């Protein structure tokens, strides 16, 4: 794992561990809830940059990096979105995959029946955004390996995140932004996110006109393709 030191609420720092091989985060205690919008955006970028990478399955036995006890599977709910992780029985922290972290932060939404049908007309096979297993769209819209339904990135939540970041900067002028410099937030960022949202929304009806989206969906899955679209505009 590699350590990432991020900004927390009330001028605190949050040091989390990232496993790029498993595509997962380790949070001590309730660190996930302490992240500022800017820190969440940084993790969002880490996930997007690894979206097309081959992922390794979680080990059958995971141990707490603090006490060595075997982690236990846990299930939780964020509004109406279910997510899961592995937790230390001694409450030292939890190990959560990138996809479930996005679920926890309410960035994932299932495809509507109309979107599933549109996808089937243009793509025969898509990789599961959760585990990477192939989903045969002619037969199902749910991953046979992990049970995850076809889902996509909720671009409205990305826009809300940036709006929260802008509000935080407005309340504390001169405070560090997402990269540690005062007044960092680019005023054009909301416009670029709106462009990314339109690209994602329009993609279902324009595969032939948008070959890059088709390639992203085929290699990275629907959530990965949405992340790639956002990162393309953020950069």
Q: What's the whole-number average pLDDT of the chain?
A: 78
What's the pLDDT score for residue 75? 93
**Over the Cα atoms of the chain, what is R_g?**
18
For residue 16, what pLDDT is reported? 94
pLDDT-flagged residues of the chain (< 50): 172-183, 205-209
- What is the pLDDT, as a whole number, of residue 106? 84
The per-residue pLDDT for 169 is: 54
Report pTM.
0.76
50-90 residue pLDDT tens:
877 777 777 778 999 999 999 999 999 877 788 999 999 99
Q: Where are the domains of the chain?
A: 2-104, 108-234
**What's the confidence (pLDDT) of residue 172?**
47
Residue range 130-158, pLDDT digits in tens: 888 889 988 998 999 888 888 888 877 77
């Amino acid at each position: 794992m590699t350590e990432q030191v991020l900004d927390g609420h009330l001028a605190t720092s949050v040091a989390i561990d990232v496993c790029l091989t498993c595509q997962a985060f380790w949070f001590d205690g309730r660190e996930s809830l302490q992240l500022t919008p800017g820190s969440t955006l940084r993790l969002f970028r880490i996930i997007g940059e690894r979206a097309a990478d081959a992922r390794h399955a979680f080990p059958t036995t995971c141990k707490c990096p603090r006490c060595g006890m075997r982690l236990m599977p846990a299930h939780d709910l964020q509004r109406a979105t279910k997510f899961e992780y592995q937790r230390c029985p001694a409450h030292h922290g939890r190990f959560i995959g990138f996809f479930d972290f996005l679920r926890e932060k309410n960035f994932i939404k299932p495809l509507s029946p109309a979107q599933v049908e549109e996808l089937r007309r243009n793509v025969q096979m898509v990789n599961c955004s959760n585990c990477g297993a192939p989903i045969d769209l002619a037969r199902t819209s749910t991953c046979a390996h992990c049970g995850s339904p076809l889902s996509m990135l909720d671009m409205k939540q990305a826009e809300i995140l940036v709006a929260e970041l802008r509000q935080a900067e407005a309340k504390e002028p001169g405070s560090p932004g997402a990269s540690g410099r005062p007044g960092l937030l680019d005023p054009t960022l909301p416009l670029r996110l709106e462009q990314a949202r339109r690209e994602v929304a329009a993609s279902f009806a324009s595969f032939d006109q948008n070959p890059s989206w088709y390639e992203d969906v085929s290699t990275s899955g629907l959530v990965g393709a949405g992340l790639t679209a956002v990162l393309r505009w953020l950069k």
